[in-house]
């Protein structure tokens, strides 16, 4: 591939793809919460592949690697952090894009993890990336509408600072709380009810996408100036989505490792 071709691909991706999903704190919250709900087989399976590396450590790896040199991280893997689904549609109603998306990547990584002959390095990449993707899909704007790049093109001001709606949900709402990821994960763990555990522990990625499509419309603000009112209106939803991310990571891993 020529240098000019590579530069055109990189430019196209910069214009087309959303920013990273939950910031580091959000991803670590989901990973730390998931640790509480792993089955014994899943815990052993993760340890066999990642050694002493925790789920919260693994959860941020795929975003860190987006800056690595080479076409795989900067071009090939970039679309695997999100999906695009029109309002009123389901992911299965349309063919996935040729470059793939979060759900096709999850299927790819699941196959790698089930292949006992796959090299350890490939299984480590697959597991870390899969943990990250499951967390990504709990951020509602990583199941984006066509046309606004998952809220990146929705310009807003968060306490007077120019930003966009995607970034508000990635990091701004979380960072505003000034809590460590471990504090937040512990609080979510304490407050989860049995009904919520049952409702939010589906291992089915298509169901997660349907859930995000159903709620994302309510998160678009009526006006671009966001502050305490927006935080108050959506704080419960933010907690729910972070909790869903953690429970789904555990559910997906439990199904993966508990199934022969």
Spell out a b/e string for 96-117, using b for 16 or more CB atoms within 10 Å of the CB, else e. beebbbbbbbbeebbebbeeee
Can you tell me the mean pLDDT for 182-191?
A: 97
C-beta atoms surrounding 86 within 10 Å: 13
Q: Are 83 and 142 in contact (CB under 8 A)?
A: yes
Compute the chain's Rg from CA coordinates.
18
Question: How is the beta sheet containing 225-226 ordered, strand by strand?
Answer: 161-164, 155-158, 225-226
pLDDT at 259 (0 to 100): 82
Read off the pLDDT of residues 55-100 as tens digits, 9 standing for 90 and up: 999 999 999 999 999 999 999 999 999 999 999 899 999 998 999 9
Residue written as tokens 């999906």? 83
Q: In the prediction, which pLDDT does 20 show? A: 57
Assign 109 a pLDDT band (cuts: 50, 70, 90): very high
CA 253 to centroid of chain Cα atoms: 15
Asked if the model's pLDDT at residue 159 lies above 80, the reply is yes
Mean pLDDT across the stretch 215-239? 97
Enumerate domains of the chain plus CATH numbers: 18-258 (1.10.575.10)
CB 96 within 8 A of CB 104: yes
Identify the CA nearest to 78 among candidates 99, 95, 49: 99
The answer for 82, left when phi > 0, alpha when psi is -120 to 50, beta otherwise, is beta
- pLDDT: which is higher, 36 or 17: 36
Q: What is the DSSP string of 246-260?
A: HHHHHHHHHHHHH--
Nearest to 21 by CA among 164, 146, 169, 125: 169
- Is pLDDT at 13 greater than 60 in this prediction? no
How much is the pTM?
A: 0.92
Helices (H) and strands (E) in the chain, counts: 14, 5
């Amino acid at each position: 591939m020529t240098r000019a071709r590579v530069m055109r691909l990189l430019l196209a991706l910069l214009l087309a793809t959303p920013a990273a999903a939950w910031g580091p704190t959000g991803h670590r919250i989901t990973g730390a919460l998931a640790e509480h709900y792993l089955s014994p087989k899943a815990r052993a399976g993760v340890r066999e592949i990642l050694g002493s590396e925790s789920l919260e450590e693994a959860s941020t790896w795929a975003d860190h690697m987006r800056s690595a040199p080479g076409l795989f991280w900067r071009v090939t893997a970039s679309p695997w952090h999100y999906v695009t689904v029109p309002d009123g549609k389901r992911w299965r109603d349309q063919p996935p894009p040729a470059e793939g998306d979060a759900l096709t990547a999850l299927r790819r990584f699941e196959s790698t993890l089930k292949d006992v002959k796959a090299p350890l390095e490939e299984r480590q990449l697959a597991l870390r990336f899969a943990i990250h993707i499951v967390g990504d899909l709990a951020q509602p704007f990583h199941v984006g509408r066509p046309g606004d790049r998952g809220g990146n093109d929705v310009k807003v001001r968060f306490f007077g600072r120019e930003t966009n709606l995607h970034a508000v949900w990635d990091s701004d709402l979380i960072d505003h709380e000034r809590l460590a990821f471990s504090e937040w994960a512990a609080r979510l763990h304490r407050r989860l009810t049995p009904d919520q555990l049952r409702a939010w522990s589906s291992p089915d990625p298509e169901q997660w996408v349907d859930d995000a499509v159903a709620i994302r419309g309510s998160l678009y603000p009526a006006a671009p100036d966001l502050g305490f009112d927006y935080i108050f209106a959506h704080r419960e939803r933010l907690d729910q989505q972070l909790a869903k991310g953690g429970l789904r990571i555990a559910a997906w891993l439990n199904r993966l490792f508990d199934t022969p």
